[in-house]
Amino acid sequence: MRTCSVHFKPSAKNVEVEKGTSLMDAAQKAGVFLDAPCGGRGQCGKCRVKVIEGEHRYKPSRLIDRQEEESGIRLACLTTVEGDMTVELVQTVGVGDIIVEDITSDKTKKLRVEKAIQVLKDSGIKLQNSFRSIEIKIKEPTLDDNIPDFERIARELNPLMESKKPDCSVEVLRKMPRIIREAGFDVNLVLREDEKNYEILDIAANKEKKIYGLCVDIGTTTVAACLVDLYTGEIEASANSGNLQMQYGADVISRIIHSTKPGGLEKLRDAIVQGNVNKLIERMMEKKDCRREDIVSSVFAGNTTMTHLFLGVPAENIRLEPYIPAFRNSPVFRAKDIALDINPNAPVYILPNVASYVGGDITSGVLAAGFWNSDEITLFMDLGTNGELVLGNRDWMVTCACSAGPAFEGGDISCGMRAAPGAIDGVRIDEKTFIPNVNVIGNTKPSGICGSGIIDLIAGMFFSGIIDGKGKIKQFSKSCRIRFDNTAGCREYLLVPAKDTAHGRDIVINEIDIDNFLRAKGAVYSGIKTLLNGVGLGMNDIQKVIIAGGIGQNLDIENSVRIGLLPDIDRSRFEFIGNSSLTGAYLCLISDEARHKARQIADLMTYIELSADPAYMEEFVSACFLPHTDMNLFPSVRYVYK
């Protein structure tokens, strides 16, 4: 088989591939990141590249116009390599540009963490973990006192450990004799205790030494991590990035499909473990001058698919009826078992999943949100990729997953993008001129629109009368901003003209986009309604709404209620909680009892499979209107609506 050489600019990476390989596979093989929300099916148009030279074949796409086509623009997933090629990357947003919330970046965020800690304390949960670093002076051996090194250390620890038995890995045993003697019998030990045993996780020459833990939120789109001092609980460093699995698809379904291809599961695992987590660890270690061996514990929170892929466990049954994950409570593995670059014997704790589409990130988020210790009936919403809901209080919880897809992260929208520099995250439309006023993230020209911007835009179009309750652009709307879109075959609204954008193409929203978004928000609202119906409650019984997920911070509550995404209740009941999945993982890292509590929370939740609920489809259809077919549910909107 002939191989062809593909050169990628500007990263200057080269790869040899077989003739006939898709450019997308070539990029993945070369380690060149290409965002591909639709998973390489030619549907989203996001994997644009520019062919500079070289023989290739491609399928034309309606997402690329003639002029672009002539200039060499192709969709990487629809292009095959037929000879040596040079290809230029033209995606304006790289994996490192995605904005990920840092739970320690400002005072508000720090307060949230403190508040979560306070709830633990109030409920009597001890903020203790089973790790400690101790200094011991070992009695030097003599002919008369000749017990071996391992037992000698155990003898010194006896007063502390009582009848607990010592344990250690073969790696620690291998370095023990030399380190003890090099250190002149004055050593530092890192210990982990359980009820009956204790384990020596590391041994080193004695010096003041911190021990660290790692907590990570593995989101479908973003990965966020913190390095934590296990003694003080201080967050010492944090780092985050886009989930590199994005090159295999934006949502969990695309990823699962990719995982069933030959070698696919390993590629996905490699992307998250090596590409994301180990890199984040490296970055955080550099900041703190900490050794790998000093990171002795780890906690991970992610949705069910993410935790499966992270461990390399087949996830395909999550997608196939009757939707069965491989596990709910993962056994506790060691870092070395899954190639994590921390102390090889550090335990790896994974927040328990609830069901196939309600994962450990939700368990973690609920732990952080604290309403498990409250009487108030609370609605917890995670608006990330998909959308998960939990309703309840200290006594009961029901939960469901809404098929919202990645709409809140700009997915399924032609000009949608994730929150990153160049994303329009806020829009106001002049009700007379229909001219929009946009807010762009970063000091740059816009290249697309993200979730919070789409909500504002749709709310603005609706209240200025551009679209009707079904999301259709009204015939009588007369404005240069309204036009008929040639490629999608429907009307569109021009948000930013080509001359003002980063990539020189118009930023628009068309009726298909709006329809996709209405289905997403309808899925969320009907999910809330179904949960409430299930427990015999109404919207006004919700005493608190806690909104988690990256979208939260920039979300306009008023607009979200007006379009019928959020329930029309007293606005003071809404609260943003940020990346609660990471906060919950942090709590489980610093406190063993918090980890047990998380497990109790997961057990407490009753999962409602919406697709199995006969009344759900009717609720969904009613919720795909602006704001809803039943206007009684939206009294304040009725009042505003002209």
Name the residues that contact its own copies, by CB under 8 A: 141-152, 166-170, 173-174, 176-178, 181, 311-314, 316-317, 321-333, 337-338, 353, 355-356, 609, 612
* Nearest to its own copies of 101, 149 (CB atom): 149
* Nearest to its own copies of 190, 226 (CB atom): 190
We find the least distance from the C-beta atom of residue 354 to its own copies, in angstroms, to be 10
We find the least distance from the C-beta atom of residue 151 to its own copies, in angstroms, to be 5
Q: What share of residues in the chain are helix, strand, coil (percent, to 5)?
A: 35, 25, 40
Given a contact cutoff of 8 angstroms between Cβ atoms, the answer to whether 523 and 387 are in contact is: yes
E strand residue ranges, 430-510: 436-440, 448-449, 482-485, 490-496, 507-510
Mention every residue, 6+ apart, whose C-beta is less than 8 A from residue 516. 405, 407, 412, 413
The number of residues making up the chain comes to 642
* Nearest to its own copies of 327, 641 (CB atom): 327
Given a contact cutoff of 8 angstroms between Cβ atoms, the answer to whether 205 and 171 are in contact is: no
Phi, then psi, of 540 in degrees rounded to 5: -75, -10
* Nearest to its own copies of 180, 518 (CB atom): 180
We find the least distance from the C-beta atom of residue 329 to its own copies, in angstroms, to be 7
We find the least distance from the C-beta atom of residue 267 to its own copies, in angstroms, to be 15
Given a contact cutoff of 8 angstroms between Cβ atoms, the answer to whether 37 and 47 are in contact is: no
* Nearest to its own copies of 122, 186 (CB atom): 186
* Nearest to its own copies of 126, 178 (CB atom): 178
* Nearest to its own copies of 151, 162 (CB atom): 151
* Nearest to its own copies of 14, 329 (CB atom): 329
We find the least distance from the C-beta atom of residue 505 to its own copies, in angstroms, to be 44
In the β-sheet with 347-350, what is the strand arrangement from edge to edge?
Answer: 235-242, 222-229, 212-218, 295-302, 347-350, 333-334
We find the least distance from the C-beta atom of residue 532 to its own copies, in angstroms, to be 22
We find the least distance from the C-beta atom of residue 276 to its own copies, in angstroms, to be 18
We find the least distance from the C-beta atom of residue 312 to its own copies, in angstroms, to be 6
Crossing angle of helices 616-623 and 511-534, rounded to 10°: 140
* Nearest to its own copies of 69, 140 (CB atom): 140
- Using CA atoms, how far residue 193 sits from 161, 203, 230, 295, 401, in Å, is 9, 15, 14, 16, 37
Q: What is the largest distance, in Å, between two alpha-carbon atoms of the chain?
A: 101
Nearest-angstrom CA–CA distance, 153 and 160: 12
Q: Which two tokens stand for residue 275?
A: 């590409």
Q: Which two tokens stand for residue 373?
A: 């210790």
Identify residue 512 by its one-letter amino acid code.
I
We find the least distance from the C-beta atom of residue 269 to its own copies, in angstroms, to be 10
Nearest-angstrom CA–CA distance, 509 and 231: 51
